[in-house]
Every structure is written in structure tokens, then in C-alpha cells.
Amino acid sequence: MEHFDVDHPGNLVGVKVTQERANGLRVRDLVASRADHLDGVWWFHDLKIQEYDEADNPVGRLSPYASGTHTLTELPELSEMPDSFVVETRLWEFLSTRDMIRYLREHPDISAKTAIEKRYDIHSRLAMPWACLIVTLFGIPAGAKTGRNNPLAGIFLAVAFFFAFYAINQLGLLMGKRGDISPWLGAWLANIIFSISSVAMLLRLR
């Protein structure tokens, strides 16, 4: 397309849509001066079509999609939503969690390695807010045991716990993105280990 505005993804200028066969060869090209998404349907202005045979060779020339004087053509068979184009134009790390999930749902043909990495990123983003709460819960019984006897020991213990959490988190990242363990388990590994440890320490503190 010649122009795309992320603030108005349903209004495209200079559009070319290529429909392909299962083997990747073209079926047809749809070319239009403009396309608008209205009431859940794409409408193309001055739509023209170029057909291709099974060997990917052009059949005839680029010609109007339909005979007559109509310059506006409705194509209800095109199910792509405008928001999907916005997702395609943004860097992966800047997408919202919802858009990340939508991307995976709309791209089932990506490689297994890429899918694993992207699923890890989604779970990592979901696990991150819980890490602060879990580390705090872990620090309560640990601080209660050392703070009353030796405040300095409590500080060193807190630093040691921080590096331990970071190390486990990096281990989960490595194993999760390589596919050694499930992506969700890699992303939540540090949270799971520290949650179990904090509950056990709280019970012993009682």
C-alpha cells in the first residue's frame, strides 16, 4: 500500500492484495486506489484484478474487477481486520499482550522456534507483575529471622535472594526459549520456586 496511518487502519490508500494457493503461488492480485473498512466489510475503490495460472503466469492483463460504471466494490470474503495491520507494523516488544496473543492466533504458520519464543514473551510479561509480590512475601519470613539478630546479615541475605531470583529467571528464559521446557514454565519458573519457598518459610515462622 502507498499510505498507511496507524491511527486510521481502516482507511488504506494504494492497495494491492495478493491471494495465494497452498503452494505459495499466486491466484490473483487485487489492486485498488483506496480501501475502507465499513461496518465490518472492506470496500475497494476502482478495483482491478490480475489473474494467474497454476504456474504463476499472468492470465490476460490487469482489468476492472466487474463490468459497469460502479467504482466501489464490496469484498465480504476478506476477513482481515484493520487492527491486524497495526500489529504487523509495530515491533514485537512494543505490542500489548492482547496484540501478541492475536498475532500468534493469526499466524499459525510461523516456525515452531519462533512460536515458542513468542509464547515465552507473552507469559514473561504476565509473570513480571507478580514477581514483586512474591519477592516481598519471600522477604517477610527471611527478614524476621535475621533482622532481629543481625541487621547486616539481613541485608546480605536480601542481596543473595535478589541474585538467586535473577539467576533462576534467566535459567527459565534460556530453557523456555530453547524449548527445553514449556514456554509458560520457563517464564513462571522463578515465581513458582520463590512462591513455594515463601509459603514454606511462613509456615515455619508460625
User: Can you give the pTM of this predicted structure?
Assistant: 0.64
Q: Is the pLDDT of residue 47 over 70?
A: yes
What CA–CA distances, in Å, run from 152 to 135, 147, 160, 166? 19, 8, 12, 22
**How confident is residue 95, by pLDDT bands cut at 50, 70 and 90?**
confident
Domain residues of the chain, as ranges?
11-80, 112-205
pLDDT value at residue 142: 66
pLDDT in tens, 144-181: 665 556 666 666 777 788 888 899 999 999 999 999 99
Report the SS3 class of residue 144. helix
- If one compares 9 and 188, the residue with the highest pLDDT of the two is 188
pLDDT value at residue 68: 56
Please compute the mean of the pLDDT values over residues 29-58 and round it to a whole number: 90
Residue 49 · residue 62 · CB < 8 Å: yes
The residue type of 197 is S
Q: Name the helix (H) or strand (E) containing 167.
A: helix 151-178
pLDDT value at residue 71: 80
Q: pLDDT over 70 for what percent of the chain?
A: 84
Please compute the mean of the pLDDT values over residues 91-106 and round it to a whole number: 85
Q: pLDDT over 90 for what percent of the chain?
A: 29
